[in-house]
Amino acid sequence: MPIPGNLLTTAMAVMPHKDADRALEVALSLDVPFWPQLPLLSYYEDMYVQASEHFPGIVLNMEKRTLHFSMEKFINEYEETLVHSDEPGYFDISETYSVVYHRFLDLDLSDHPAIRGQLEGPISFGLNVTDQDDRPILFDESIRPLLFEVMAKRVNVQLDRLKKRNANAFMFIDEPGLQFLFSGMSGYTNLAAKEEMEAFFSMIERPRGIHLCGNPDWEFLLGLDLDILSMDIYSNGEIFASYHSSIRKFLDRGGFIVWGIVPTNFEPFGKESINSLEERLDNIWAVLDKKGIDKDFLLSRSMLSPATCCLVNPDGEQTVEKAFKVIQEMSLRLREKYRL
């Protein structure tokens, strides 16, 4: 598996920068860089908008920064999508929808241990995008199968392009919506989600995984056929560690974990130090070690990252950049400590 462990660093892609070159510079400072998503630079750089390109029925209003779905438009555009179904490039992200993505692909990325891309996942996209009746399109059984199919094609074409820049490329499927599946209000059951997510992953190439910042049903998530799982351990560490049995099965199957430990929000970042964050992470690993997950094995299959994305800090991108520097320093300290 080309995914590196041993506490190397990466991060989630959404960043508050309005300067694409600066955002790329910060992303490239990590061991496993990625192409940043910069919604404050342009609405086209929003993760939901990027995932919407060429999906039939999408109504995008750049002036109002809104993204909706029209069944009438879907019916008119559905046939065109089918015509292009065997053309991978049709499902890639165009330069209109991400200048940053294409700048990233123009770089020499061969010297990194790996690189990473990302795409908004079908469940989160389907929950976020609503139709003419203000109903999430995920609930529409006439739309959902195509949604999963198109998103799989989009993941595959991006991963293929990234692998041409670095053979160890992998993909995150961003799925913040997974935490809402078990609220009893979603209208989409966890049984349906598990079946359709398993079918979705069977359509996309490896290595692939899920990133989310929320608190889903971890047993459900760890049971999916993932190669890597990235999450906010800063907020969810105690809860996550209680699923030690599922974590062990995930690792034994070859899975990797990205521990999001450094907060990027202004206030919690200011309350922490690298020592307090290191202690918090070590405590979680100690709990898992006591539950039978060997720490050396765990660390060999672990990476580090900031805890979340953040677009709303009063200091703009400054706290986010500080968090990136802290995660790099923490990685060096812990790798020296554990002789990795």
57-85: pLDDT as tens digits: 999 999 999 999 999 999 999 999 999 99
Cα–Cα distance between 279 and 226 in angstroms, integer?
A: 28
Q: Does 181 score more than 90 pLDDT?
A: no
pLDDT score at 186: 55
pLDDT score at 183: 61
Domain 8-337: top CATH class:
alpha beta
- Render pLDDT for 238-270 as a digit per residue (tens, 0 to 9): 999 999 999 999 999 999 999 999 999 999 999
Can you state the percent helix, strand and coil of the chain, rounding each to 5?
50, 15, 40
Q: Which two tokens stand for residue 16?
A: 């508050």
Average of pLDDT values for 32-49? 98
pLDDT score at 257: 98
Average of pLDDT values for 197-225? 94
pLDDT score at 1: 64
Q: What average pLDDT does the chain have? A: 95
At 185, the pLDDT band (50, 70, 90 cuts) reads low
Alpha helices for the chain (secondary structure H) = 20-27, 47-52, 71-83, 99-105, 122-128, 144-165, 190-203, 218-222, 233-241, 244-252, 266-271, 274-290, 295-300, 318-337
Average of pLDDT values for 298-318? 97
Average of pLDDT values for 211-237? 94
Alpha-carbon distances, residue 67 vs 15, 44, 184, 227 (angstroms): 20, 11, 25, 31
Q: Does 28 score more than 60 pLDDT?
A: yes
Does residue 285 or residue 184 have the better pLDDT?
285
